[in-house]
Chain A
Amino acid sequence: MIEFRESPKAKADMPTLQMKNLCKSYQLGTHELRVLRDINVSIYAGEYVAIMGPSGSGKSTLLNMIGCLDRPTSGDYLLGGQNVAVLDDDQLSMIRGARIGFVFQSFNLIAQLNVVENIEIPMYYQNFTEHESNRRARELAHMVGLGDRLGHRPSELSGGQQQRVAIARALSNDPLIVLADEPTGNLDSTSGADILTILDRLHAEGKTLIIVTHDEQIATCAERVIRLFDGRIAKEEYNKR
């Protein structure tokens, strides 16, 4: 069992997320498909980073890698000082549950559960007590502006509301990083703008945000943009605010 609390050695200047020479390749028959090559990137606490790139550039693979859904073929990936590359499946599940907050393009709420219960899912796997997780889920629902929709099912909510539930859910386990994959991709522009406002607010509160998108407009909200091309980091730029 690994201990996920911040080790005393972790200093403020130590990156929250660090990738060193990270490569990922898939075996397609006899042919080796190299999706990510020599990725070196460090993201510090409180940063707001957008990852951009055309399709096929390895965006999704990098996202899976950051989200600890997949392990690198070679190289290291340190998340909060823990090397993810050496963890087994159970430990990956635990690290995802403890340190990552996921926001998906298609919301991915569970249909048979109501708003509060959906927000509670990550806490359920993190040994929160019943009382604690319920209180926290309600708080988060209020925070994203769904205080009056606690008992509703996802099918009774609009897309924008569903995505707000998803954001509340991503925050419920108090993660090191919030990872959003095209969070506005399935939304109309007004709801999308709402979501971006919430993300901005989270950033202002000091959360570390990583957002994967192909929308230049959205990328301008972030402090830093990492552009991928052909499995490599093609360009890193800082937005002026």
Chain B
Amino acid sequence: MFLYRLKRTVKLGVKSLWMHRLRSTLTALGIIFGVSSVIAMLAIGEGASRDAQEKIAQLGSKNIIIKTIKPPEDQSSIGQQQTLVEYGLTYDDAERFQNGIPNVQVLVPNRRLSHQALYRNRRASIEVIGTVPWYPEISPTRVRFGRFLSTIDMHYKRGVCIVDERVVRELFGFDDPLGQDLKIGSDYYRVVGVATEQSAAASAAVNQLEQRDATGAKKAAGANVGGIYIPLTTVKDRFGETTMQVSAASGQTLERVELQEIIVQVQSIDMVLGTRRSVETLISRFHKKNDYEIVVPLELMRQAKDIQRIFTIVLGSIAAISLLVGGIGIMNIMMATVSERTREIGIRRALGAKKRDIVFQFLSETLLLTLAGGVLGIVLGSAIPYFVTQFGQMRTAVTSGSLVLAFGISAAVGITFGLYPAIRAANMDPIESLRHE
């Protein structure tokens, strides 16, 4: 019985809306655009947020990265032909972190250099990462083929390297890189393993961070086509720690930097911030020059989340306002419809319709309109992010939550803005409305 009534009411609603096709379509458009903008806005916001979080997560949420940065130059050094500037993190620092700070689970000291690599007649600028065998523990980098560095490599300062997949593409082409020799600087290195490359997103994030350091070597890192991992001890032995920097301000400068970064991993995420404070206290005692920077991916992630939340709220409210406007449009049309159909209401009342039957009739008409608008809006709203991704090179993510939300909002709009006209229709005097022309 109830189903029959529902079916009848829906059928009647469709007929009445069909009578005024153009009007119904225009009214539904308000809702369609409202709903689709809610979905599209949330999808764009969500996509951007996931993107940022993924980038940062690549850096490791349990990691604390202490980086060397070039301290502000002394005025006195200007004009001197050649100077030796010594700054940055040292092996002593690494030892102090290892021994002096509780909760440190893994500690990785890294040396990073920009260099040219040569294989047969092919050449590529790469980043040499002098690191330790347990580097993969704190990084998303994984070994694809072969092996990573071993303690024996470290101990004997062997000339071995692990190349990442980008280097393989650039230098080796179709050759199997394992067992081949690469020339970096004046020495040859045997390739013992292939590692996954850091995803474009992650390296972009790293580059973003690196652009803040003042070291010329680091700035150039952005242009590198890949990374080659070499034992830290080998790098120290073969490349030394002194590099020549040429800058317009001070001419040639010799710089001595022991380590470019020390990455510390703690046992669990809630220890990150406490450990960061310990690291800061410890390092500030030994570095009077401001030549280091502490990057905590977890903090960046939180900041990014906060920014994204604001972003989502702003976009969401703009979209919600357009839905509200759509809702007001619907209410307006329904008021007009009710007064236009006064006579029909009178006839129905005379033929036995109760007030609640009339309310139900007009409310279901409004609901049909908004729900149809909602469905079309969902379709359109899911299509917009697709095109944004396709043509705008921007990541988007349509979440099922946003679909439910948008549909729920359109239903709520239908009920809210449909109720008043419907009640007004029901409260009309049947005698008056029968006489209405």
Binding site for B on A (CB under 8 A): 64, 67, 69-70, 89-90, 93-94, 96-98, 102, 104, 108, 110-113, 121-122, 124-127, 129-130, 169, 173
Contact = CB atoms under 8 A, between A and B. Distances in A.
Contact of B352 (A111, A112, A173): A173
A97 B7 CA distance: 20
B350 A69 contact: yes
B431 A93 contact: no
Contacts of A64: 431
A136 to B, nearest CB: 15
Interface in B1-33: 1, 4-5, 7-8, 12, 15-16, 18-19
B353 interface: yes
B1 A104 contact: no
A127 B430 CA distance: 21
B360 to A, nearest CB: 11
Contacts of A98: 352
A169 to B, nearest CB: 7
Contact of A130 (B4, B19, B343): B4
A96 B352 contact: yes
7 contacts: A69-B349, A93-B349, A96-B349, A98-B352, A108-B343, A125-B357, A129-B4
A69 B431 contact: yes
B15 A93 contact: no
B378 to A, nearest CB: 28
A69 B4 CA distance: 27
Contacts of B1: 127, 129
A177 to B, nearest CB: 14
Q: What interface size band does chain B fall in? A: 20 to 34
A96 B351 contact: yes
Interface in B346-392: 346-357
B434 A97 contact: no
Given A108-B434, A111-B19, A112-B16, A90 B355 contact: yes
A125 B352 contact: yes
A126 B15 CA distance: 21
Contacts of A90: 354-356
B241 interface: no
A96 B349 CA distance: 9
A173 B344 CA distance: 19
B352 A110 contact: no
Interface string B323-358: 000000000000000000001101111111111110
Nearest to B20: A112
Nearest to B17: A112
A130 B5 CA distance: 9
Cβ-closest 9 pairs across A and B: A97-B352, A125-B352, A93-B354, A122-B351, A112-B15, A108-B347, A130-B4, A112-B19, A90-B354
A64 B434 CA distance: 11
B157 to A, nearest CB: 90
Contacts of A96: 349-352
Contacts of A70: 431
Given A69-B430, A69-B431, A102 B350 contact: yes
B352 A93 contact: yes
Contacts of A97: 351-353
B251 to A, nearest CB: 89
A181 to B, nearest CB: 10
A64 B352 CA distance: 14
Contacts of B353: 93, 97, 125
Contacts of B355: 89-90, 93
A104 B18 CA distance: 27
Nearest to B357: A125
A102 B351 contact: yes
Contacts of A130: 4, 7-8
Nearest to A121: B351
Contacts of B15: 112-113
Nearest to B426: A89
Contacts of A102: 350-351
A97 B351 CA distance: 5
Contacts of A127: 1
B162 to A, nearest CB: 75
B170 to A, nearest CB: 71
A93 B353 CA distance: 6
Given A69-B349, A69-B434, 7 more contacts: A69-B350, A69-B431, A89-B354, A93-B355, A97-B352, A124-B8, A125-B352
A91 B220 CA distance: 86
Nearest to A102: B350
Contacts of B4: 129-130
A84 to B, nearest CB: 14
Contacts of B357: 93, 125
Nearest to A113: B15
B354 A67 contact: no
Contacts of A94: 352, 354
Contacts of A110: 344, 347-348
B20 to A, nearest CB: 10
A180 B131 CA distance: 101
A27 to B, nearest CB: 15
A111 B12 CA distance: 12
Contacts of A89: 354-355
